[in-house]
Every structure is written in structure tokens, then in C-alpha cells.
Amino acid sequence: MNVLLSKLRTGSCAQFTALALALGTSALVAPAMASTFQLQSNTIILEERDGRTAFNIKNPGTQPILLVSRVEDLDGNDMAGNVIVTPAVTRIDPGQSQLVNFSLKKGMKLDREYLLRASFEGVSQKAERGMRMPIRQQIGFIVQPKTVAADARPWQDLRFAVDGTTLKVHNSGRHVIRIGPALTLQPSGAVATLPHPYLMAGESIELPVESIGVAQQVEIVPLSRYGFANEKALLPITP
């Protein structure tokens, strides 16, 4: 198994990774011999109140796969180390499903939402000529505090200000805000682009804008907790 895990993590072929948290899931694309698996949904939500959640992965293929599951940080807060994944490594036979459990370490007290990345990497345990092509799917993982109620419109906590040719963006709330990266200033139509499709609770960022013109509002594409696009929204720019 150790040899197989080594091949799973390193691989012998060029691989392309596309993380798209805004849309939910991404895949490490591989040729026809790659194993595949189906995820229960495109986002996992772990409630502090419950302390754990279970997530289903199905192997619809004709070969057994070895699945490695992990949780990773998207910033420097080291929150992922407080989430226990079991089983971290498991075999899923053809047509069968496996529940992967995610648990918060005991004693954790949360004061805001966290957005992490759940990564699932699988490889067929049988392949022609010994070639095993891994496939990876990565999705959003939200940790929900019991002291912070879920909010269907957390983007209302966004605050915008303009300083010269810079757009200042601040998430003033305790929720993670999932948002399309393009921010359009109105009425000028100038566009600022976020480096990622989310803002962590309390996060601030400054974005350069060319030809900023007249800017009174910012048009955004807010995303749901599961990464699906909502209708566009207009938010004011603070004078």
C-alpha cells in the first residue's frame, strides 16, 4: 500500500489542477485509464454544534479505487489541523460507496466561519501495464460556528472604498463570503479582480483599477454557500 500511496501522491504523468471553489469542484484531469468517483455534493459544511459530519463518495467504475481524503487551509490560520478525517485512506470497490467522516477536535471554540478545501484523490488498484492515473477533486469546506447563524446573504457585510486608483474591499462580518472575482464599478464600468472567489471573515484586500472614473457602487456576483451564482447585487462605495 505504501508504494501505491507514493504513486498516488507523486504520479508519473503531467497533471493539470484547476481549483474552482466558486463552482464547487475541480478535477485533476487524466487520460482514459484514470479512476473516477462521485462526490455527494460540491461543498461540505461542518457544524460546530454537531462536531462532525459524514460525506459520501461513490465509485461508479469497474475497478476498485484507493481514495485519500484530506482537508487543507486556504490561508495561514491552520484551521485544517483541527479537523480529523476518518478514514483518511480507504478502498472503494466498484459500485460501492464510502462515508468519510470529518470531526472537529474536542474543545474547539469558533467565533467566525472558516473556508477550507477538501481534497479527494483516487487511483485505480488495477490498470493496464501497471499504469495508475490518479484523479483529484477539490471542493469547498465550511466550518460553521454555533455562535454565528448561517446567513443566506453574507455579502451584505462587504464594505468598499476608493483611494486614487485602488479599490479597497473589506469583509466586515463573521461569515465567509463566496463571490465572483470580477467587481464592476458603477457607473464607470471599470473592473477590479479578486485573486480568489471568496473573502474570509474579517479579510481586507486592496485591488488596482485602471481608469477608475466615477465610482458610486460596486456590482458583484454573489455566490451561495455551495458556490452557485446568485443574481447580481449593487453595493455602495463609502465616500
| Identity of the residue numbered 184 | T
d(CA 43, CA 45): 7
- Joined together, the cell numbers standing for residue 133 give 492515473
In the chain, where the domains are located: 2-7+14-144, 154-238
Nearest one of 95, 88, 31 to 62, comparing CA atoms: 95
> Which CATH topology does 2-7+14-144 take?
Immunoglobulin-like (2.60.40)
d(CA 40, CA 25): 11
Which spans in the chain are helix H?
2-10
| pLDDT beneath 50, residues of the chain | 1-34
Model confidence, pTM = 0.82
Which residues sit opposite 133 in a β-bridge? none
The per-residue pLDDT for 127 is: 54
Nearest one of 112, 149, 131, 139 to 35, comparing CA atoms: 131
Preceding peptide of 60 cis, ω within 30°: no
d(CA 115, CA 141): 6
- Domain spanning 154-238 has what CATH number? 2.60.40.10
Phi, psi at residue 90, to the nearest 5°?
A: -155, 155
3-state secondary structure of 231: coil
| CA angle, residues 149, 205, 47, in degrees to nearest 5 | 20
The reply to whether domains 2-7+14-144 and 154-238 share a CATH topology is: yes
The per-residue pLDDT for 4 is: 41
Cα 38 to the chain's mean position, in Å?
17
